[in-house]
Copies of this chain bind each other. A is one copy, B any other.
Amino acid sequence: MLNYVPDLDSVFHALADPGRRLMLERLGQGPASVSELGTSLPMSLAAVVQHVQVLEASGLVRTQKLGRTRMCSLNPAPLRSAERWISERGAFVERSLDRLGQYLAETAQTTDTPTNAGQSGLHPSEEETS
C-alpha cells in the first residue's frame, strides 16, 4: 500500500476548511474556550464543536476541560510537519530551477567564449565577400 505519513492526511484535511483556519488564527493569539472560538464565526455551537473535534483529531489543537469550560490551545508541532513537507517540495523545484539556470549559463558561456577555431573560422564566407 501507499507509504505515507497518516498525520499529514488529517492535518491537511483540517486545514482545508476556512472556518477551521480562522479558529487556528484565533488560537495563534492564545488559548480560547470553544464558545469563544465560535463568537466570530457564522455557525452554530454544535458546528464549532465538530470543527474543534476535527482539529483535535489532527493534533493541531489540544483541549482541556476546566470546570464547565473546554479550553483550546494551538499545538505547533503538526503545523511544523506540514510546513516541512511543503518547503521540501519547494526546495526540489528551486533546485531544479537552479540546475536549469546553471545549464543555461554554462551553455551561454560555451557559445560566447571565442575559441581559436571560432576566431579564425567565424563567418569566413562573409569575410571573403565583404
Residues of B within 8 A of A22 (CB): 2, 4
Q: Are A79 and B86 in contact (CB under 8 A)?
A: yes
Residue-wise, chain A 13-53 has the 8 Å CB interface mask toward B (1 for contact) of: 10111110110110011100000000001100000000000
Residues of B within 8 A of A2 (CB): 18-19, 22, 41-42
CA distance A40 to B52 in the complex (A): 36
Mark A residues whose CB is within 8 Å of B: 1-2, 4-5, 8-10, 12-13, 15-19, 21-22, 24-25, 28-30, 41-42, 74, 76, 79-80, 82-83, 85-90, 92-94, 96
Residues of B within 8 A of A80 (CB): 90
Main secondary structure of the interface of A (DSSP, over half): helix
CA distance A17 to B41 in the complex (A): 27
Residues of B within 8 A of A96 (CB): 28-30
| Least distance between A17 CB and chain B CB atoms (Å) | 7
CA distance A79 to B89 in the complex (A): 8
